[in-house]
Structure 1
Amino acid sequence: MHPTPLTAGLVRGALDLERTERGLLPHRLPARARAQCSDPQLAMVESQPSGVRLAFRTRATALELDTLPTKRNYVGVPSRPDGIYDLLVDGELTEQAVARGGDTLVVDLATGSTERHRGPAATLSFSGLPDRDKDVEIWLPHNETTELLALRADAPVEPLPDRGRKVWLHHGSSISHGSDATSPTGIWPARAAALAGWELINLGLGGSALLDPFTARAMRDTPADLISVKIGINLVNLDLMRLRAFAPAVHGFLDTIRDGHPDTPLLVVSPILCPIHEDTPGPGAFDPEALGEGRLRFVATGDPAERAAGKLTLTVIREELARVVEQRRADDPHLRLLDGRALYGERDHAELPLPDALHPDAATHRLMGERFAELAFRD
């Protein structure tokens, strides 16, 4: 096995690559954006490589990848499953693996405190690959911060040549990040991109789709052929702003994107159905009864009467987004609105309820990806 230098040319889907003492750490927000926010939640999720993959051309039949993952566990709740690495050969999923080892971040949901336990690096081995020139992608776990340490192969490895594929840049919440999908190519944006034949840059940031100006600037500065922004659920479940601030913040976010992409198709996506927040404001919280049973489930703690004081619900947000997009379309013919309930709505909830009352499961991710591919890419 021969070592292959880990260079930026082998990594797709990241906006920044940080050289560490041991290797290469992909980031989904640039350093300047990260410096403008001290929120530990954002720091955690932007370093989780949802949509990030190693992509190269090789004749190798065997590969080894050394990584240092960071896994999350919650006090009083069964351990989360290890993150999955998906190996694709010429676009087809051929093998999956997990990294045994790495650091563990233990989170106490009652106090918000965290404790890190150090662990060893992990080595993933892939063998039996076809003995021919081929495109290979290794999709990193969407829910584990992953430091890349070394890549080895039994034949030369080169970055993938430009195939002329168009680039889709997407921003959203934990639902876009991957939530309860079982593997990195199973998250709904990855599924939609694969069906449409587009390159994905996924800025789905769990708990952090908050109309942050630094995220808008990162999107402004990232080349893309289609841009989508899924807005709503985090603003409600964090109880972050009131109605007075919401529409101007949406305008500002879209204005910043348009500074760098004046004519790029831009899709505003309203929230998917989430019954606990349809008409009940946030903040959202962990259900203490479920925690006592070792389960994660979410509840809305606001009062529907508080809508009169400007508190946001998903219903209010959908109405405001429709109004904002309609207003802007007078000067922006490349702007469209997609009602999130076309991806997951009432009928879907009856058949595929949200397991924790907030996040879609693996089957729902597949469904949403298929629908988005049809609704967003068909033109």
Structure 2
Amino acid sequence: MHTKHNWITTPITADLLRGALDLERTAHGLLPHRLPARARAQCADGQLAMAEAQPSGVRLVFRTRATAVELDTLPTKRVYVGAPPRPDGVYDLLVDGRLTGQASVKGGNTLTIDLTTGTTENRPGPVGTLSFTDLSEGVKDVEIWLPHNETTELVALRTDAPVEPLPDRGRRVWLHHGSSISHGSDATGPTTTWPALAASLGDVELINLGLAGSALLDPFTARAMRDTPADLISLKMGINLVNIDLMRLRAFTPAVHGFLDTIREGHPTTPLLVVSPILCPIHEDTPGPGAFDFSALSEGKLRFQATGDPAERAAGKLTLNVIREELSRIVEQRAADDPHLHYLDGRALYGEADFAELPLPDELHPDAATHRRIGERFAGLAFTANGAFTEDSV
């Protein structure tokens, strides 16, 4: 396998990685985390642990003359009992900012999840190798975006020419937090999640704290954002609070204020954009909890449904419309003393007309075409004209 190249093995270190808040040394190599160890220690939830260890937005970046690159990784694949097989995670290769290759790594560990019983089973597997060859001659900037939805331990990096850390390009850093939609659920690759697309269009460096099932106003997430250097910050919140049925309106309002207060402790004047949920018809006026539609599962399809009673809104149960109204009110109230705080109604990114054209396949998550639409819409609304993230806003 290595006969054609004089391989140079370069240790994978923090200066070759972007988008991770922490790196854990494992028996095999390096595991990128999107929440710091102190945050992870404060919550034993398995869904959060899985989500934050999936490297959405995390990429290896370096400058090199190499024409061939190999990366050994140990992925963890998810298998849902009774559901269609999940495709292997995709690695995107960018050379000088342009997508020039895509590949997957076979093998790896397997995490089998039984949605009917809530049980999981882990089965260890072998390290695999990712190979990109025939790269252009000369010095170039290389980025390997890790799969957004597949836990990935980095084992070894080999090239046929030396590599060096990528110099700082002076681009602004955008720190974003949201749910599985921001994490990238159902996007086809790591550079086509809507935040990655928006970051490319806005010419910014992305740190994506989109955490599937885990955008829950957790104080440790707010502290992680407070302590992370950033030039632009956005929060997309709402859908997980409804579909997990975590809190009622009485708790929601002070939790939002507390989350924003904590971020402002570290970023007092940073442009901060609060984004309410995109349209999701099952939860617009129906509270959670959300649940798997097991009749669909029996047909091999993954679909979600709302199980709450709309009448419970009177008792403070949260729906997406309740959350949008309250977020708008909170931002308007705080903006009187915080001119760098902004609000964006998520239905401007994906609303009723979009749902009619591009429905949510599982009633909850956008497909690849919708990720592109949301990313382009966000870039247009946030990074241009009078958007919260224009150069004049900083």
CA distance in 1, matches of 2:42, 2:56: 21
Amino acid at match of 2:35: L
Counterpart for residue 180 of structure 1: 186
Among residues 88, 92, 100, which one is paired with 1:82 in the alignment?
88
Of 119, 123, 126, the match for 1:117: 123
Which residue does 1:73 correspond to in 2? 79
Alignment of structure 1 residues 102-141 onto 2, 5 Å: 102-141=108-147
CA distance in 2, matches of 1:331, 1:117: 53
Matched with 1:228 is 234
Measure how far apart 1:117 and its partner are: 1.2
Q: Which amino acid aligns with 2:241?
A: L
Q: Tell me how far 1:288 sits from its aligned partner.
A: 1.3
Q: Write the distance in 2 (CA, Å) between the matches of 1:117 and 1:293.
A: 26
Deviations 1:147-175 (A, max 9, x none): 00000000000110011000000000000
Residues 163-202 of structure 1: pairs in structure 2 closer than 5 A: 163-202=169-208
CA–CA separation in structure 1 for the residues paired with 2:147 and 2:186: 12
- Indicate the residue corresponding to 1:309 in structure 2: 315
Give the Cα separation in 2 of the matches to 1:338 and 1:293.
Answer: 38
Aligned alpha-carbon RMSD (Å):
0.4
Q: Which residue pairs with 2:43 in the alignment?
A: 37
Q: 2:17 aligns with which of 3, 7, 11?
A: 11
Determine the C-alpha separation between the residues in 2 that align with 1:371 and 1:55: 27
Query: Counterpart in 1 of 2:167?
Result: 161
Partner of 1:150: 156
Q: CA deviation at 1:86?
A: 0.1
> Counterpart in 1 of 2:387?
none
How far has the Cα of 1:20 moved from its partner?
A: 1.1
Output the amino acid matched with 1:65: L
Q: 2:243 maps to what in 1?
A: 237
Select 2:331's aligned residue among 325, 330, 334: 325
Mapped partners of 1:365, 1:313: distance in 2: 23
- Cα deviation for residue 243 of structure 1 reads 0.6
Counterpart of 1:210 (choices 206, 216, 220) is 216
SS in 2 for 1:78: coil
| 1:78 positional shift | 1.7
Moved over 3 A (4+): none
- The equivalent position to 1:254 in structure 2, one of 254, 260, 273, is 260
Alpha-carbon distance in structure 2 between the residues aligned to 1:14 and 1:73: 25
Once the two structures are TM-superposed, the CA of residue 136 in structure 1 deviates from its matched residue by: 0.2
**Aligned match of 1:57:** 63
Alpha-carbon distance, 1:79 to partner? 1.1
What secondary structure does 2:191 align onto?
Answer: helix
Aligned equivalents of 1:78 and 1:276: distance in 2?
Answer: 23
1:354 pairs with 2:360: yes
Amino acid at match of 1:311: K
Q: For 1:202, what is the secondary structure of its paired residue?
A: strand
Partner amino acid, structure 1, of 2:217: L
Deviation, structure 1 residue 40 = 0.5
Runs of 5+ unmatched residues, structure 2 = 1-6, 385-389
How far apart are the structure 2 equivalents of 1:66 and 1:294? 33
* Cα distance, 1:377 vs structure 2: 1.1
Q: Deviation of residue 226 (structure 1)?
A: 0.5
Task: Count the aligned residue pairs.
Answer: 379
Secondary structure in 2 aligned to 1:263?
coil
- Percent identity, aligned pairs only, is 80
Q: Distance in 2 between matches of 1:369 and 1:135?
A: 24
Which residue of 277, 287, 290 maps to 1:281? 287
1:374 Cα deviation from its structure 2 partner: 0.9
For residues 345 and 77 of structure 2, the distance between their equivalents in structure 1, rounded to whole angstroms, comes to: 34
User: What is the alpha-carbon distance in structure 1 between the residues aligned to residue 135 and residue 278 of structure 2?
Assistant: 39
Partner deviation per Cα, 1:317-336 (whole Å, 9 max, x = no partner): 00000110000001000000
2:98 maps to 1:92: yes
What are the superposed Cα offsets for residues 288-330 of structure 1, whole Å, 9 maximum, x if unpaired? 1101101000000000001011000000000000110000001
Determine the C-alpha separation between the residues in 1 that align with 2:377 and 2:138: 35
SS of equivalent to 1:86: strand
Alpha-carbon deviation of 1:21? 1.6
Q: Which runs of 5+ in 1 are unaligned?
A: none
Task: Using structure 2 for the length normalisation, give the TM-score.
Answer: 0.96
Distance 1:44 1:22 in 2: 18
Note the C-alpha offset of 1:77: 1.0
Structure 2 residue 48 is matched with structure 1 residue 48? no
Partners of 2:63 and 2:381 lie apart in 1 by: 32
Separation in 2 of the partners of 1:249 and 1:72? 32
TM-score, scaled relative to structure 1? 1.00
Distance 1:258 1:118 in 2: 42
Deviation at 1:376, TM superposition (A): 0.9
Indicate the residue corresponding to 2:4 in structure 1.
none
Residue aligned with 1:184, SS: coil
